[in-house]
Amino acid sequence: MKKLILVLGIATLAGCSGISHTDKAYTAHAESFNILGAQIPGDAQERAIELVPEGATVETIRSTDSDTTSFLGILNRIIGIDYVQVGGVKK
């Protein structure tokens, strides 16, 4: 039981998101903990996109390998941390 609480506590800490911005530009990010293909607390890209200011354009999206065609992508899906960063211009 103590191990389960420890694992859930670590997984909760990995689920962070936030945004920084100026008058003209912004950068939003989100992280999720991967365990056996499940992202905890949810899809990092969706959470990062939700932080984009209304009316802003998305110029770049950067993320960790999470595909199933590379060794690092497969390993990250089994156990790892997904990181997504979205940047763009405000209107």
pTM of the model: 0.75
Tell me what pLDDT residue 33 has.
84
Tell me what pLDDT residue 12 has.
62
Domain that holds residue 65: 2-89
- Is 40 in contact with 32 (CB distance < 8 Å)? yes
- pLDDT tens track of the chain, all 91 residues? 777 777 766 666 657 889 999 999 999 999 988 888 888 888 888 999 999 999 999 999 998 876 778 888 888 888 888 889 999 999 8
| Alpha carbon distance 66, 71 (integer Å) | 10
**Do strands 25-35 and 17-21 pair parallel, antiparallel, or not at all (unpaired)?**
antiparallel
Q: Which amino acid is at 80?
A: G
Conformational region of residue 68, where left means phi above 0, alpha means psi within -120 to 50, and beta covers everything else: alpha
Count up the domains in the chain and report the number: 1
Tell me what pLDDT residue 13 has.
60
